[in-house]
Structure 1
Amino acid sequence: MTNAAVGTELPALSVRLRRDDLVRYAGASLDFNPIHWNEKTAKAVGLPDVIAHGMLTMAVASRIVAEWVGDPGAIVEYGCRFGRPVVVPNDDEGALVEVTAKVTKDFEDGTVKVNINASFEGKSVLTGAFARVRVS
């Protein structure tokens, strides 16, 4: 990390999520809800197709801060709300999640607040996403 001043924009991050990523995440998280792997079930509950796990999307978005600060342990707080799902088609392309972030506040305790935006197909998928990061 080179600059943690308010207004600093972090290097953008683009991550492709494919169906095999959802399977691996389901195994790691033990979240085997069929809306994350079965098209018929996903559509039966009103979804357009299989969707990524919200927590996987949240984890992907946190990477922008972890890579910028150089130490995932420097993230002392992280939060968001899930705004809309990331639909993952059954093809080689998958879904592209694009993440941007900006330092918005400097605290006296050596941490900064970073606001995070994760989007899919040009629409935000996380609401109020932020991280508080130890920078000194």
Structure 2
Amino acid sequence: MKHLVTMLMLSVATLGFSQSNNPEENKSQSKATVSDLKISITVDSKEELENSIKMEDIEEFMDMSDNDEQISFEIICNGEKISKDVNRSLTYKVKGNTSDRVGFLKSVEKVRTAAINFYNSKK
């Protein structure tokens, strides 16, 4: 029994001291890159649309991307029920490139305005 306990303690001590004490050795060097940015928003009302899409947020997403990367923006507008199994809905999608930042942001603003008009036309 004495030999069993001694062997067990020796094994635990060996395993414990064999672990690396230097945390720098365990860190891996990796860089995250964004190569294709897709933003999709589903809304059910005009108020939800106006509160969920801020141009500053879109600009921030574009800042996270490298230059000359593909980007797409999509708004899915859900409307009221037309008949028993049919719901009214509309989808707008814009595709662009981060190198044409101004043009893409103008297109997003146009899509946002068109989506607001979709909800205004229901009244």
Give TM class, smaller chain: under 0.3
Higher strand share: 1
> Normalization by structure 2: what TM-score?
0.28
Larger Cα-atom Rg: 2
Tell me which of the two structures has the higher relative contact order, counting C-alpha pairs closer than 8 angstroms and 6 or more residues apart.
1
